[in-house]
Amino acid sequence: MPQQKQAAIGFIFITLLIDITGIGLIIPVIPKLIEELIQGGISKASFYGGLLTFTFAIMQFFFSPMLGALSDKYGRRPIILISLFGSGLDYLFLSFAPTLALLFVGRAISGITGASITTATAYIADVSTAETRAKNFGMVGAAFGLGFIIGPVIGGLLGPLGSRVPFMAAAGLCFVNWIYGYFVLPETLPKENRRNISRKTLIPGRSLIEFKKHPELGGLVSVFVLIYLASHAVQSNWSFFTIEKFGWSEKMIGLSLGVVGLLVALVQGVLIRFINPRLGNKKSIYTGLLLYSLGLFLFAFAWQSWMMFAFLIPYCLGGIAGPAIQSIIAAHVPNNEQGEVQGALTSLVSLTSIVGPPLMTGLFAFFTGPSAPFHFSGAAFLLGALFMLASTFIAYRALHKVNTPVAAS
């Protein structure tokens, strides 16, 4: 890879790292903040936690495809910078929100400005070759991992100072990230590769039609959806589950999420460089999905705190599947459509975040509430494991229809 392209990947890695650190900062204190605002217990708080994520996701669904398409016309850099600045303002707003209703308003704004990840994936596609695409998408995962090492640990440590303090710290990180990007983030989409956008292209959700051009990818897109839907058993449920099951504090939640981040970074930033070339994309997908299934099943029946840490190993190793799926999908899309396709994928992720959090936290709230036929706080993890198993069978059928030039399979 030319030195300029390698430098561009380094820049976007740092940008994403700071961005994800800011997101991770607030996760350990969300349950406590909701409990304070509703004056209720953890079961009821989990229900509202799912609705907050739903609010973020539905706004992201409407706005991310538009911003992805705009990045195809105006370039990746301005969209990323606008998003980062808006996120900083939003975290400031959230840090002073006195009611649950205003917390929902803040999350809605977060969804509107949350386009940096969408555009960053298009940015990675701009500078990747067929041979390096899976590895470079893995770097995006590594940035997530490292961000979730640093962010939740700091958030857990700041939590005892007040449930609002991590929001202020997240705002500061976003503004630092914006300044960094303004001075050092290069543009990766040449003017000759940009394209004009019709009004129809800017219609929310329209970018999903992009997949109709590539019907052979329908099965893989379905797998992509199921993975993200199942992942909300962990993303939306982890804090509430560990508080209810083991009585964890904000500090313990932050440390555990830091371990998650460390494992994700090791898998997607290091191991995938060795695993993917040896297994190929297809076997990486099969292996990853089965490991995801195993990890979620074990979470569901954990009865001691240490088990949650041990069972993170197979679950996080499942992360080898995601970059391989993205690599195959991206290989079938022209460079000047990457922004819109990545926007469409983000829309799908947002759709799973519309359905997933209320589903998973709703299951948790029901099976830990007074009306449950029996108490089972791991219900969401078990459902997630079933989704992952289903995606394995779908992937097997879909990959026999896809002739991908990306890697040995």
3-state SS of the chain is CCHHHHHHHHHHHHHHHHHHHHHHHHHHHHHHHHHHHHCCCHHHHHHHHHHHHHHHHHHHHHHHHHHHHHHHHHCHHHHHHHHHHHHHHHHHHHHCCCCHHHHHHHHHHHHHHCCHHHHHHHHHHHCCCCCCHHHHHHHHHHHHHHHHHHHHHHHHHHHHHCCCHHHHHHHHHHHHHHHHHHHHCCCCCCHHHCCCCCHHHHCCCHHHHHHHHCHHHHHHHHHHHHHHHHHHHHHCCHHHHHHHHHCCCHHHHHHHHHHHHHHHHHHHHHHHHHHHHHHHHHHHHHHHHHHHHHHHHHHHCCCCHHHHHHCHHHHHHHHHHHHHHHHHHHHCCCHHHHHHHHHHHHHHHHHHHHHHHHHHHHHHHHHCCCCCCCCCCCHHHHHHHHHHHHHHHHHHHHHCCCCCCCCCC
Global pTM value: 0.74
Cβ atoms of 44 and 38 closer than 8 Å: yes
Q: Is the pLDDT of residue 237 over 80?
A: yes
Domains along the sequence of the chain with CATH: 3-187+210-399 (1.20.1250.20)
Q: What is the pLDDT of residue 387?
A: 92
Which of 95-99, 135-139, 325-329 is the most confident on average? 95-99
Residue type, 101: A
Longest dimension (CA), the chain: 62
Q: Mean pLDDT throughout 22-38?
A: 82
Q: What token pair was written down for 291?
A: 């490991």
The more confident residue out of 384 and 344 is 384
pLDDT, one tens digit per residue, over 393-409 is 888 887 776 554 443 33
Q: What token pair was written down for 28?
A: 């350990």
Task: Tell me the C-alpha distance between 294 and 296, whole Å.
Answer: 6
Q: Is the pLDDT of residue 140 over 80?
A: no
Average pLDDT, the chain: 79
The more confident residue out of 64 and 154 is 154
Q: What is the pLDDT of residue 312?
A: 93
Share of the chain above pLDDT 70, in %: 82
Which CA distances in Å does 67 have to 200, 343, 377? 14, 8, 38
Burial of 348 (C-beta count, 10 Å sphere; 0-12/13-18/19+): buried
The more confident residue out of 67 and 42 is 42
Q: What is the pLDDT of residue 406?
A: 40
Cβ atoms within 10 Å, residue 51: 18
Task: Tell me the C-alpha distance between 301 and 157, whole Å.
Answer: 29
Which CA distances in Å does 295 have to 11, 176, 315, 330, 404? 33, 36, 4, 28, 29
Task: Tell me the C-alpha distance between 324 and 284, whole Å.
Answer: 7
Helix axes 272-300, 218-235, angle to 10 degrees: 60
Task: Tell me the C-alpha distance between 143 and 154, whole Å.
Answer: 16
Q: Is the pLDDT of residue 297 over 90?
A: yes
φ/ψ of residue 162, rounded to 5: 140, 140
Query: pLDDT band at 169, cuts 50/70/90?
Result: confident
Query: pLDDT band at 306, cuts 50/70/90?
Result: very high
**Least confident span in 26-30, 151-155, 207-211:** 207-211
Buried b or exposed e, range 59-80, using 16+ CB within 10 angstroms:
bbbbbbbbbbbbbbbebbbebb
Q: How many residues does the chain have?
A: 409
